[in-house]
Amino acid sequence: MIKTLREDFRLAMAILLSSCAILAIAPLAIVRALTGEWLLAALDTAIVLGMGLILYTTLRRGRSTAANLASAGFYTLAALGMTYLNPQPMIYWVYPVAVANFFVLSLRQAIAINVLIMLALTPLAGHFAQQLEFVDMLVSLALVCAFAGVFSWKTEDQRQQLENLAHIDPLTGIGNRRKLFSSLDSQKGKLQQSSNAAVLLMDIDHFKAINDQLGHEAGDNTLQTLTVLLQGRLRAGSDEVFRYGGEEFLILLNNTDLQGACNVAEHLRLTIEEQLEVTASFGCAAYQHGESWDEWIARADQALYEAKRAGRNCVRPAFNTTG
Ligand SMILES: Nc1nc2c(ncn2[C@@H]2O[C@H](COP(=O)(O)OP(=O)(O)OP(=O)(O)O)[C@@H](O)[C@H]2O)c(=O)[nH]1
């Protein structure tokens, strides 16, 4: 869960906001009950319970999109409800809510929900002593939304750039080892349920000789050409290729058993031999129920080692260690 929170900024924000809202509103509910403001006290209690429920389900599921929409919708409606009951002081709750929407929802969703908030506030114009006061409130709310929107858009843009830097290999433009593990984690349920996925670990043969004889740039070009070739031969949408190490690539094949994986590897091996000036060795391993990602890849690595030992330019399967 801690890892998910570190990686999912919006989920972390939703959890932080719900926790803060509960801590801030619970004492208000008690004070209002003690001073006899029963309606507001009941509404505060409903908000605390609702936020508590959302917090609990968000923490249990660890997924952001639906939980974030639910929590944003809930606290927005709560703030509007409070404002309708007691417009003058309660309208100040609309400001943090409008800002929070930009950090919990996508930019479009936040803009849409904040426009709806402004529209929902217009019937309250009559509660202000002067019309200008109400216009002031709407304009200041729009300004706060504009600043929060630009800030959250910029933050999201920078977060995306950082994520790309951390996950994409700059030479080949495909995912690196970190991206592989985050991709495996995101498909965890599917992979572990179907137990029908395989990895190919592929290593170029005698790659050092290419660097030594033709230069590092020629070596780089080979890696780029090979990447394009691999991408062109795999099933778009279901297979993924990652740069696992220097001249080592990992191919993740969904809905593929060991025999199918070996067939794909053999096809790739022949294509590389025909079209490039290098050859490659392959180790294949089908996912074995209950094993960790590291154990799965280690079996493919052992099979690759056997392919190298057998003379290179060949494919070797990793047999299951159980059953
Ligand atoms: N040009 C280039 N070379 C790289 C890159 N990353 C790793 N290498 C080189 O890849 C070579 C790998 O060499 P080795 O591990 O000895 O393997 P090999 O020569 O392919 O031999 P076998 O794997 O046993 O067939 C090293 O010379 C690395 O410097 C890269 O990004 N670009």
* pLDDT tens-digit series, residues 132-185: 888 888 999 999 999 999 999 998 899 889 988 999 999 999 999 999 999 998
Cα–Cα distance measured from residue 229 to residue 160, given in angstroms and rounded to the nearest whole number:
27
Q: What are phi and psi of 170, to 5 degrees?
A: -65, -30
Q: What are phi and psi of 17, to 5 degrees?
A: -65, -45
Cα–Cα distance measured from residue 227 to residue 251, given in angstroms and rounded to the nearest whole number:
11
pTM over 0.80: no
Helix (H, G, I), strand (E, B) or coil at 30: helix
Residues in the ligand 1 pocket, defined by CB under 6 Å: 171, 203-208, 211, 216, 219-220, 223, 246-247, 308, 312
Domain positions in the chain are 2-167, 177-318
Cα–Cα distance measured from residue 79 to residue 116, given in angstroms and rounded to the nearest whole number:
13
Mutate to test the pocket of ligand 1, among 247, 269, 309 (most ligand atoms within 8 A of CB): 247
Å from CA of 73 to ligand 1 middle: 54
CATH of domain 177-318: 3.30.70.270
Å from CA of 181 to ligand 1 middle: 23
Compute the average pLDDT of residues 108-114.
94
Cα–Cα distance measured from residue 219 to residue 201, given in angstroms and rounded to the nearest whole number:
19
Task: Indicate whether this complex's ipTM tops 0.85.
Answer: yes
